[in-house]
Structure 1
Amino acid sequence: MSRRTFLTGTSVAAAWSALSLGGAQFASAAARDQALATTAARAVRVTGTTLEQVATPVGTGGYKRLTAGPGWPLVVRGDLASATTGRDDRRTGLASFVQFSDLHLVDTESPVRFEYLAKLNGSAYRPQEALNARGVSALVERVNSLAGGPYTGMPFSMVMATGDNTDNHELAELDWYLKVMGGGRLAQNTGDLSRYEGVQNSGNAAYWNPELSYNDGYKAKGFPQIAGFLSAAGRPFDAPGLRTPWYTTVGNHDDSIEGSLPDLGLLNDLYTGQYKLEGCDDATAAQLTDSLRRDPAGAVLLLAKLIASGDLVRKVTPDERRRPFTLKEFAKAHLNPAVTGAGPYGHGFTSDMANSGKLYYTFRISEKVVGISLDTTNQAGFADGSLGTAQLRWLEQQLQTHSGHWYDADGRKVTGGSTDELILLFSHHTSGTMGNLLPDPRNIFEGRHDGNELVALLQRYPNVVAWVNGHTHMNKITPHGHAVPERAFWEINTASHIDYPQHGRIIEIADNGDGTLSLFTTLIESSAPYGTDFGGTSDANLAALYRELSYNDPNGRPAALLGAGGDHNTELLLTKPTR
C-alpha cells in the first residue's frame, strides 16, 4: 500500500466500531489490521507512538498487568472542514511540537497533603506517585528518541508543558520539574534522605504499603509487595532532560495549596514543620472535602485544627525545601542559567514577568506559527480558572498583531497589518473549566472572564487554529465554530502524566494546498517497558511500575480519562484563513 493512500473520515468510521481500555475494538481482526496499515501508509513513521502500539491490560484478576497491544489508527475528523482526496501529496508541514500536561512533580512526604481524602477525591493519593519523577523522565526519554512528527516528518521545534508542573507548589517539586525537563541529578525525596516518611510505610490499611507484608486495602485488590520499593523510589537518578527547547505554562497546582486552597501564608510553618496528618474519620474527611470545594478558607482552619488534635499525626523530618513558592519565584527559577538546557533562556518567562507576576507571553513555534501562553489561574482558591481583564485585553492585542484580519464584536471585518500567521493558544484550564469568577487577590478590583467569553473572542480571529490545554487529566478534542468555517478552531485537551493513561501528545500543522489545514494529534507513551518485575527496582522497572500502578489505582478513572478514538490519534481538518 502506498504511503500516500487516502483514507476518508467515513471509511475510518466504518472500520471503527467501539473503544475500550485496551484500545480499538473492530468488527474483525482484518478490519483492525486494515485501519492500522492505512494509518502507517499515510505516515512518515509511526515508531515510538501510539500509532504503533499501546499499553493494554491483560489478565483476569483484580490487579491487571500491562502489555504491548495494537496501536490506535488515525481518525480523520471533518467536523469543521471537508477532507479532499490527494492532500497527502500536496501537504506542506508548518509546525511540529509536543505537549506535556499535568506532570505533577510531587513531594509525597510533605506535611501539607490530603491523602486521607482519597476515597472522596482520587487525586489526594495515588499508589504510583512516589515514582512520579522517574515516570516523567521516561516521557522525556520518549520525546528524545523520536526523529519528528509522524505525518510531516518535521523535527520538534519545542515541548510545551501546559500547567500543574508541580503538585503542591513546593520549592523541592519545582527543582525536580526543572531537572526532569532540563536534565540533572535528582532524588524525589525530602526530609530524612535516608528513609521514606510518607503514608506508604504508615501501616495504615487505607494506603498501599509496598514493603510491608500485611494485607492492606490495596493488597486485598491484588497490589504486590515489593521489597526495597520506597528506598529505590527515593534514591538519586540522572534525568537526561529534553534535547528540544521547552516552555512552561502555569497551572493551579503551581500557585495554590493542593491546587485548590488560596495560599495566604497560614500553612508555611506546617509545610516546613515536623507534623504530618495521615488520616481522619470519614465524617471529618467529608467535611474537609466539602470545604475544599465550597469554602477554601474554612478548609485551612479545619486542617489546622486536625493537626492540633494529634490524632493520626506523624512526626517527620522538617525540610525548608518544602516551602511553597510564589508565582514570581516560579518564573524566576526558570531564569537560572543552570536550567536553560536545550533552551530557550527562561523557557518563556522573562525578568519582567518574574518581577510583575504576569506569567503570560507570546513566542514563536515556527516560521509561520505563533504561540500564546496564558495564565488562567485564580489565587482566590478552587481548582478552576479564569482570565483577568488586563490579560484578556493583552491577548486581543496579540491576536491583532499576528492576524491579517479579524471581526469586531458586531461581526464586521477589520483589516490588520501585513503580518498574517497561524496562532495557537496554550493554557492550563479548558474552556469548560474557566468558571471561577471570584476576585483574584492579585488584583481584587479587576473583572474576571470565563471560558465562553474566551471562545467567543478566539472565534473573531480566523488565524487561531487551536487552543491546547490540560487540567482535566483527560484526552478530549472539541470543535468550536461549526457555523462559520473561517472562524472555527479546535480545542485539544491532553491527559495528565500522573494519572493513567499518562500520555503526551505530538501536534503537527500542515497546509494541504487545497484551502484546508490539517492538525495531526498523535499520543505518545513514556519509554518505560510495558512489562514489570515485582522483584526488581531498576530505574526502567520503576518507570514501568509507575504506569502499571496508575492503571490499577482503585481511585483512578482510566476509562473516562483515556478518551475515545476521536480524542486520540487524529487528523483535524480546518479551513485555511485567507485575507
Structure 2
Amino acid sequence: MRRALGLLLLTASVGIASGCGAQGRSAEPLGTSTLERTVVDADGDGRLERGPGEPLRVRSRPDGPPSRTGPPPESEAPVTFVQLTDLHIRDEESPARVPFLDRLGEPFGSTFRPHEALSHQVATAAVHSVNRLAPQAVVVTGDFLDSAQANELDGALAIFDGGRVRPDSGATGYDGVQEARNPDPLYYRPDTDAPRRPGLVERAQEPFESPGLQAPWLPVLGNHDVLVQGEVAPTLQLAEAARGRRTIESLAPGTEAPDADADSSEAVRALLDGRVATRDRRVPADRRRRHVSPAELARRLGRPLRDGRLDYAADIGRRVRALVLDTARRDGGSRGVVSPRQVAWLKREVRRSTGRWTVVFSHH
C-alpha cells in the first residue's frame, strides 16, 4: 500500500490546497485522467511515477480486440457514463474502528489504510475529473461509505451533490493513529515517516467546497454502506462504541489474537462490543457518528427500497437502461448475496428493457 502513497498524497494535497483556499502554494489543475497521464513503476524500484497517457480503444464487440484508437463518433456511442467504486469516504477518527488488526494480515488487511485521512479530498478530486468528461450519468457502485456512519454519509452527499465538506469529527483537529506522537511503526505518520508531509493529517480535517457531480448519479449499496467496518451489522453496543469516548489501541497483554482462519465479522464484533480484553484510550466523542439504517440511506439518497433492498431501474439517455442490484448483506460479512426475489425482479426488468442496451450494476 505504501508504494502508491507518494502519488496519492500529491493528488490529495492538490485537493486540500485548492479546496481550503491555500494561498501561495502552487497546485496543479484538478481533473486529469488517464487519457493525459498514467501511474507507472517505470524503473521497477517499487515507487510510482507519472507515465504517458493512454488513448481510448474502440471495440465493436465486447469480447473482441480493439478495432481502432481514439474516441468513437458520437453517433456510435449509445451512452457515456462513469463508474466510481469503493471510495470509502470515512471517519478515520471514529472509535468504532480496529486499525491495529491490520498487522495480522488477511482477513484484516483493510482495517487500516495509510491514506485514510484523505478520503474526502480524493473523492472530490475524482468529482473534478468526472465533470471534465461530461458523462450522461455517474454510477457509484458501492462502498462510498466506510463504516455506515451518518457523518460519513453527510460527507459523501456533500461531495457528490456539491456543498461544504467537513471531514473532521470529534474535537477540532486530527485525533487518530497517524499522529506523530504515536510510537507504533505499523501506521504511516506523515509528520515523521517517508514520504514526509508535515501537517498533512491536520490540514485534511479542514472544511472545503465540492463542486458536486454535474451529471445525475446512481447509488449502489455495498457492504461498507450498511455494516460497521463493512463486516458487522450495527447494534446498540456498536452504536455506543461509535459515539463514545473509548477507542481500542491494541489487544491487552496476554490476549490471543484472531488467526487467519477466524471469522472476521465475529472478531471485529467481539472487539468493539467489549468481549475481548483490550488496551484503550480516551478520545473526543461525537454523536454524528451514529449508524444509519438502510431505510435512512435510501431516503437520503432519494431512492425507495423494494422489499428492503435498494433495487431499481433507471434510464441513462435514450438507449441504455441501468438495473441496480443491492447485494449487500444485512446480517454481517463482506460477501454479497442475491435472493430469489431479486433474481425474479431482474428477469422481469430485463424483459421490459426490449430495444435498449441493459447494464446491471452491483457492488459484488
TM-score by length of 2: 0.81
Match of 2:227 in 1: 256
- Name the SS of the counterpart of 1:122 in structure 2: coil
Select which of 225, 243, 251 maps to 1:272. 243
CA RMSD of aligned residues (A): 3.0
Match of 2:210 in 1: 239
Q: Is the 8 A contact 1:291 1:299 kept in 2?
A: no
Q: Indicate whether 1:52 and 2:36 are aligned.
A: yes
Match of 1:203 in 2: 183
Q: Indicate whether 1:157 and 2:92 are aligned.
A: no
**Structure 1 residues without counterparts, runs of 5 or longer:** 1-20, 22-46, 149-155, 214-218, 335-345, 404-419, 430-579
Select which of 162, 171, 177 maps to 1:183. 162
1:381-431 Cα distance to aligned partner (Å, 9 max, x none): 21110211221111111111113xxxxxxxxxxxxxxxx2110111101xx
| Counterpart residue identity of residue 140, structure 2 | A
- For residue 187 of structure 1, report the CA deviation from its aligned partner: 2.0
- For residue 279 of structure 1, report the CA deviation from its aligned partner: 2.1
Structure 2: how far apart are the matches of 1:328 and 1:318? 25
Correspondences of 1:276-425 after superposition (within 5 Å)? 276-280=247-251, 286-287=257-258, 290-293=261-264, 296-297=265-266, 299-305=268-274, 309-311=277-279, 313-334=280-301, 346=302, 349-350=303-304, 353=305, 357-403=308-354, 420-425=355-360
Structure showing greater Rg: 1
- For residue 94 of structure 1, report the CA deviation from its aligned partner: 1.4
Match of 1:141 in 2: 128
The change in CA–CA distance for 1:264 and 1:388 in structure 2 (over 3 A counts) is: farther
Structure 2: how far apart are the matches of 1:122 and 1:128? 14
The change in CA–CA distance for 1:381 and 1:331 in structure 2 (over 3 A counts) is: same
Structure 2: how far apart are the matches of 1:90 and 1:235? 41
Q: Is the 8 A contact 1:117 1:285 kept in 2?
A: no
Q: Is the 8 A contact 2:230 2:333 kept in 1?
A: yes
Correspondences of 1:410-489 after superposition (within 5 Å)? 420-429=355-364
- For residue 289 of structure 1, report the CA deviation from its aligned partner: 5.8
The change in CA–CA distance for 1:284 and 1:83 in structure 2 (over 3 A counts) is: same
- Which stretch of the first structure deviates more once superposed, 361-370 or 281-290? 281-290
Q: Indicate whether 1:171 and 2:153 are aligned.
A: no
1:483-538 Cα distance to aligned partner (Å, 9 max, x none): xxxxxxxxxxxxxxxxxxxxxxxxxxxxxxxxxxxxxxxxxxxxxxxxxxxxxxxx
| Counterpart residue identity of residue 165, structure 2 | L
| Counterpart residue identity of residue 170, structure 2 | G
- For residue 72 of structure 1, report the CA deviation from its aligned partner: 2.8
Structure 2: how far apart are the matches of 1:378 and 1:389? 14
| Percent identical | 31
| Counterpart residue identity of residue 53, structure 1 | R
**Structure 2 residues without counterparts, runs of 5 or longer:** 5-30
Match of 1:126 in 2: 113
- Name the SS of the counterpart of 1:203 in structure 2: coil
Structure 2: how far apart are the matches of 1:65 and 1:321? 37
Structure 2: how far apart are the matches of 1:56 and 1:80? 26
Match of 1:80 in 2: 63
Bigger proportion of residues as strand: 1
Structure 2: how far apart are the matches of 1:79 and 1:305? 51
Equivalent residue pairs, number: 328
Structure 2: how far apart are the matches of 1:91 and 1:82? 21
TM-score by length of 1: 0.52
Match of 1:491 in 2: none
The change in CA–CA distance for 1:366 and 1:174 in structure 2 (over 3 A counts) is: same
Structure 2: how far apart are the matches of 1:84 and 1:192? 56
Q: Is the 8 A contact 1:288 1:302 kept in 2?
A: no
Match of 1:70 in 2: 52
Structure 1: how far apart are the matches of 2:300 and 2:333? 25
| Counterpart residue identity of residue 166, structure 2 | A
Match of 1:9 in 2: none
